[in-house]
Amino acid sequence: MTPLPRDTADPVHTGLTVDTVEIPENPLAVSTDDARSLSVALFHRLRSLAEGTAEYSYVRNTLVELNLSLVKYAARRFRNRSEPFEDIVQVGTIGLIKAINRYDVERGVEFATFAVPTITGEMKRFFRDTSWSVKVPRRLQELRLDMAKSCDAMEQDLGRRPTDHELAEHLGVSDDALAEGRQAANCYVAESLSTSVGQDSDGGSLPRSLGSEEEAYQRIEDLETLKPLLGALGERDRLVLQLRFGDELTQSQIGERLGISQMHVSRLLSRIMAKLRAGMLEDTEGAGSTETRDRRQPQGQEEDGAY
> What are the two backbone dihedrals, phi and then psi, of residue 108, each rounded to the nearest 5 degrees?
80, 5
Task: Output the pLDDT for position 96.
Answer: 94
| Ranges of H-type helices in 130-205 | 138-158, 164-171, 175-185
Backbone angles phi, psi at 205, to 5 degrees: -90, 170
204 close to 190: Cβ distance less than 8 angstroms: no
Which stretches of the chain drop beneath a pLDDT of 70? 1-30, 128-136, 184-227, 280-307
Give the relative orientation of helices 262-285 and 251-258 as an angle to the nearest 10 degrees: 110
- pLDDT tens-digit series, residues 2-37: 444 444 333 333 344 555 556 666 666 667 777 888
| Domain 130-195, second-level architecture | Orthogonal Bundle (1.10)
- pLDDT, residue 228, reads 77
Domain with CATH 1.20.140.160 in the chain: 215-286
- Per-residue pLDDT, 9: 37
- The DSSP letter of residue 176 is H
User: From CA 242, how far away is CA 150, in angstroms rounded?
Assistant: 26
Distance CA 229, CA 280 (A): 8
d(CA 147, CA 158) in angstroms, rounded, equals 16
pLDDT at 103: 92
Backbone torsion region of residue 300, taken as left when φ is above 0, otherwise alpha when ψ lies between -120 and 50, otherwise beta: left
Identity of residue 238: R
* Whether 138 contacts 158, CB under 8 Å: no
Q: CATH 1.10.10.10 spans which residues of the chain?
A: 130-195
What CATH number has the domain spanning 215-286? 1.20.140.160
| DSSP states of 46-83 | HHTSPTTSHHHHHHHHHHHHHTHHHHHHHHGGGTTSSS
